[in-house]
Chains A and B, each alone.
Chain A
Amino acid sequence: DAKTTQPNSMESNEEEPVHLPCNHSTISGTDYIHWYRQLPSQGPEYVIHGLTSNVNNRMASLAIAEDRKSSTLILHRATLRDAAVYYCILTWQAGTALIFGKGTTLSVSS
């Protein structure tokens, strides 16, 4: 399985944008890039996913590098509720399992 590399932790202030990086230099052409987050004492929840083009939804934006070797999850205005562990995961198709790494622990200060 292609692997991802994320910083262990990041800090942000409330209402500021947050850019969470993910490196996946061994990504294959059919790998989708998924982002999940896990709030304290909860199960992981889906944030966003993409293949080649940048993606936006109500939670976040996903910026994918042209060579697809890296991506960035963008939270446009961080809130205290966004404090969580963020996981960047590659998977090649629906019905295959997501393998979670250690993720990035995001702290948000008021």
Chain B
Amino acid sequence: DAGVIQSPRHEVTEMGQEVTLRCKPISGHNSLFWYRQTMMRGLELLIYFNNNVPIDDSGMPEDRFSAKMPNASFSTLKIQPSEPRDSAVYFCASERGDTGELFFGEGSRLTVL
């Protein structure tokens, strides 16, 4: 299995631009999670989905952030417009249903100038 696949691995953009991060979960995993990590705040849960349905988006910082999961094999996290304080590593994870084990992608490092 290829694991959780995230793209892009690195993105540098300018303030005000739209950013779209993508995630392909492990096949057969029914839950998907988006996390953000910074030195100051550590690992923060942004949103998670069960069976493609958003369950808890209380961690999404503000309306500039949105996430979708149109099908079981794809999710996006969009930031529009981006700001320098959005600079972070964004991780996607999917969950093995029978054990609750999370499998994380390698992350997308976002730098907003």
What size tier do the contact residues of chain B reach?
20 to 34
Beyond A43-B105, A44-B43, A102-B42, whether A93 also contacts B100 by CB under 8 A is: yes
Given contacts A97-B45, A97-B56, contact A46 B102 (CB under 8 A): yes
Chain B residues whose C-beta falls within 8 Å of the C-beta of A36 in the assembled complex = 102
Contact-residue bracket for chain A: 20 to 34
The answer on a CB contact under 8 Å between A45 and B104 is yes
CB distance from A4 to the nearest CB of B (A): 13
Q: Are the C-beta atoms of B30 and A95 separated by less than 8 Å?
A: yes
In the complex, what residue of chain B is closest to A101 when comparing beta carbons? B42
B84-113 vs A, CB cutoff 8 Å, 1 = contact: the mask equals 000000010101011111111111000000
> A residues engaging B (CB < 8 A)?
32, 34, 36, 42-46, 49, 87, 91, 93-95, 97-102
